[in-house]
Chains A and B, each alone.
Chain A
């Protein structure tokens, strides 16, 4: 597609429920990143996918967070047993590689009540 698409744009969930956030990167982009941004805070790196290599999961805050990227394209970030501190905007970005620029999606605003 023309840009990075994220869905849903907004998600309200009850504490303890599982949620899935979707990212559809730019076609042909081999690198895909997930970040999150809590209210008034900077961007926090979560996970990075590059081609068929093992993902860099070093930013995932707990084992309740997981992500996968199917067929080198669409990625899903799953948060199990959501907590109120998980409330944030979750941003996805893709890139053609280290020399290319990064394109971000519009984000998913997650609110855990």
Chain B
């Protein structure tokens, strides 16, 4: 059974600092890994999708790395802004199962 863990659970930084969010998973037989952002009371917005054959994906200030062998992914957000405050979730799609497995999320607060 796939288990996904995100550390830390919460993170507070001053504006301008770089953010490092960690995601680990127990079953390395994944198709891909997806990072989402969720604002309070809202749905999930996809940030980055990394295929299993890739080592990283970049979009603007966001960069996500994937190390399948060690079961880890890291989301880097450069030069954080107050608008980056949200909960960030990583998720892996099923290998043999049907359910997209989510980590518990990292709640980020960027203080102006």
Contacts and interface: CB of A to CB of B under 8 A. Distances in A.
Interface of A: 6, 33, 42-43, 45, 48, 50, 56, 59, 89, 91, 93, 95, 98-99, 101-107, 109
B91 A102 contact: yes
A102 B105 contact: no
A104 B36 contact: yes
A64 to B, nearest CB: 21
Contact of B44 (A48, A50, A56, A91): A91
B36 A33 contact: no
A33 B41 contact: no
Given A89-B41, A106-B43, A101 B49 contact: yes
A59 B100 CA distance: 12
A102 B102 contact: no
B32 A91 contact: no
Interface of B: 31-32, 34, 36, 41-46, 49, 51, 89, 91, 93-94, 98-100, 102, 104-105
Contacts, number: 51
A103 B42 CA distance: 14
Given A45-B100, A50-B98, 9 more contacts: A6-B43, A42-B104, A48-B98, A91-B43, A98-B31, A102-B34, A102-B91, A107-B43, A109-B41
Given A98-B94, A101-B49, A106 B42 contact: yes
Contact of A102 (B41, B93, B98, B104): B93
Nearest to B30: A98
B81 to A, nearest CB: 23
A89 B46 CA distance: 18
B102 A42 contact: yes
23 contacts: A33-B99, A33-B100, A42-B105, A43-B89, A50-B98, A56-B98, A56-B99, A91-B44, A93-B44, A93-B100, A95-B93, A98-B93, A99-B32, A99-B51, A99-B93, A101-B32, A102-B46, A102-B91, A102-B100, A104-B44, A106-B42, A107-B42, A109-B41
